[in-house]
Amino acid sequence: MEGTFLPVCREDMQARGIKQFDFVYVIGDAYVDHPSFGHAIISRLLEAHGYSVGIISQPDWKRKESISIYGEPRLAFLVSGGNMDSMVNHYSVSKRLREKDSFSPGGIMGRRPDYATVVYGNLIRQTYKKVPILIGGVEASLRRLAHYDYWSNKVKRSILLDSGADILMYGMGEHSIVELAEALDSGLAVKDITFVPGTVYKTRKKEDIYDALFLPEFGRVKEDKHAYARSFYLQYSNTDPFGGKRLAEAYPNEIYVVQNPPSKPLSQEEMDDVYSLPYMRTYHPSYEAQGGVPAISEVKFSLTSSRGCFGGCSFCALTFHQGRMIQSRSHDSIVEEARLLTREPGFKGYIHDVGGPTANFRFPSCEKQLTHGVCSRKQCLFPQPCRNLKADHKDYVTLLQKLRNLPGVKKVFIRSGIRFDYLLADKDRSFLRELCQYHVSGQLKVAPEHISDKVLEKMGKPKAAIYHQFVKEYEHMNVKLGKKQYLVPYLMSSHPGSSLKEAVELAEFLRDLGYMPEQVQDFYPTPSTISTCMYYTGLDPRTMEPVYVAKNPHEKAMQRALIQYRDPRNYDLVKEALQKAGRTDLIGFEQHCLIPPRKISGVQNHSAGSANAGGRKVSQTSKRFPASTNTGNKKQNRSKKNKSHKAIRNVHKRKG
């Protein structure tokens, strides 16, 4: 029914004259009817195909009655833990409970359980013994086979088994859910629906598993880290809808979990159809008294232009969920949604973002992907851009021009992040010019993540020289345009491959820039990433070579502190780190040093005005442009390094 939210209670059901829903959708998030929320897309898509859907948002998992408010659905229960993995939602990388849940009313924490998909699935199964349960969403997608779970520090079984569900949908799910709905509606028993792409099912009949690649059995991957790494990389290499194989994983008691090949990507027409469904574009009004749902503020005035990412970052789970194949919407579809935004209450003329996982990816990286899919063991941009890469921003530039010329639009920002290596691979600098002239508001956030090539190689990121080149070109373009705009680099500490040596290298780089990041992300081992596999096994699954991993919380704290070495609260950690790394040459009053030999009361930090050997304060010029002299245990000639950094200092926003 256009212009209304889907039913959220028994009264809504009765008001619509519905006696029995086709599907009851249990979700871990607050109900937000916006296309940035997976539950909104799936429920509206089912509605568009003629199925009725009732929403149960954040049920009380301690009461069985909370999931039986509508009675038994005709076809199935749908279950999603939410837009995030529930454990990432709940806990920081230090495993401390977060203070806020942006996907809950009022941002209140504790409205969903840990491992929400498992808890909801079992709650339903205890009440309804035979009704099909279909699970999906990010949490189910990334835990679909045996996986390392950081919070319990164990290898867990497929979430399909632990949740008591019948079928798991992985990936974005539009094709899968419609095909499953039609199969159930035709009268097929859920145990016989073993053929739908993008789904995982369980069986005891090994003979019925055809054309499958058998992974190491669960008992082996649980006990043997080499077996786990090999199993993970087989999964990683079979995420493409064109070339991906069916995978099977054996469990005790002759249970097999079988992953069908991924669903085919949506066509542009299908993407347009999905985003034109009659969303209310906000949270359910019942949450208004609690302060609304904070997560809507990030997306309410933003536009999704694409899905998927061929960037290949090791720490990102997109390969496992959205895939590497770019799917994009048409200009007409995006422009029409932008017109809707201009009529939304609270719109002040600013479109906050136009993008996706990577804003400047609009199409598949090469023509071959359209018929053969992505390469199973090669990346498009790493370690260098593939010779088949088609780097072209013309379509994106045209789209941005159309959007900023719409009546009522004052400014169009790009906040979902750009890949600067892809930008540089495009010989035409029109996009860089447009970006700097129209789509940056003082500062542009980019993600070099680190400066050590050794660490960047493990991250699947371009070498530091590429970032340096981008910084220079960004500065040059802004000078040409007469603009003063900065770069804000996102950096990550304690990623696999980073020891204290590499962390000190990053601190020296930041010293030479005169910059201290306000935000630093400790590496977070989330399910189903190459980096998490490295963290757990100590092996790079791509090569099976050993990788150094910082697991001790104290060492991780030291690596993080080195990136923010100017913060006086980090003094003790930084000093200890430099001593352990054999870099006491960086402890002193000389201008190249990171910290003085001892804490100095009343001084904010060494670089921003600490006493030098003569008792005077280091000037602002010295702070930002350190001299090339160096004394201590390791004498270095840093003049060449300073010269290479000179062109990029002014483009980084200075803090601290």
Q: Which residues on adjacent β-strands are paired with residue 522? A: 493
pLDDT for the residue numbered 372: 85
Name the residue with tokens 């070495």. 565
- Quote the CA–CA distance of 352 and 300 in Å, as a whole number: 9
514 CB-near residues (< 8 Å, 6+ apart)? 607, 623, 624, 625, 626, 649, 652, 654
pLDDT tens per residue across span 172-223 = 999 999 999 999 999 999 999 999 999 999 999 999 999 999 999 999 999 9
pLDDT for the residue numbered 651: 65
Token pair of 33, please? 């009817």
Alpha carbons within 13 A on the beta-carbon side of 139:
30
Q: Which of 354, 459, 358, 365 is nearest to 414 (CA)?
A: 354
What DSSP string runs through 367-398? TTHHHH-S-SS--SSSSS--TT-----HHHHH
pLDDT for the residue numbered 513: 85
Give me the residues of the chain with pLDDT under 70, please: 1-2, 601-656
pLDDT for the residue numbered 132: 98
Distances in whole angstroms, Cα of residue 320 to Cα of each of 3, 80, 514, 649: 35, 17, 38, 37
Alpha carbons within 13 A on the beta-carbon side of 229:
19
Token pair of 245, please? 């194989």
pLDDT tens per residue across span 274-314 = 999 999 999 999 999 999 999 999 999 999 999 999 999 99
- Quote the CA–CA distance of 612 and 80 in Å, as a whole number: 58
pLDDT for the residue numbered 441: 85
pLDDT for the residue numbered 632: 37
pLDDT for the residue numbered 140: 98
- Quote the CA–CA distance of 299 and 294 in Å, as a whole number: 10
- Quote the CA–CA distance of 652 and 638 in Å, as a whole number: 20
Q: Are 35 and 94 in contact (CB under 8 A)?
A: no
pLDDT tens per residue across span 497-532 = 999 999 999 999 999 988 888 778 999 999 999 999
β-strand 327-328 against 306-307: which pairing, if any? antiparallel
pLDDT for the residue numbered 392: 95
Q: In degrees rounded to 5, what are phi and psi of residue 156?
A: -100, 155
What DSSP string runs through 409-456? --EE---S---HHHHHHSS--HHHHHHHHHS-BSEEEEEEE-S-HHHH
Where do the domains of the chain lie, and which CATH numbers do they carry?
A: 10-199 (3.40.50.280)
* Alpha-helical regions (H) of 304-357: 318-321, 331-342
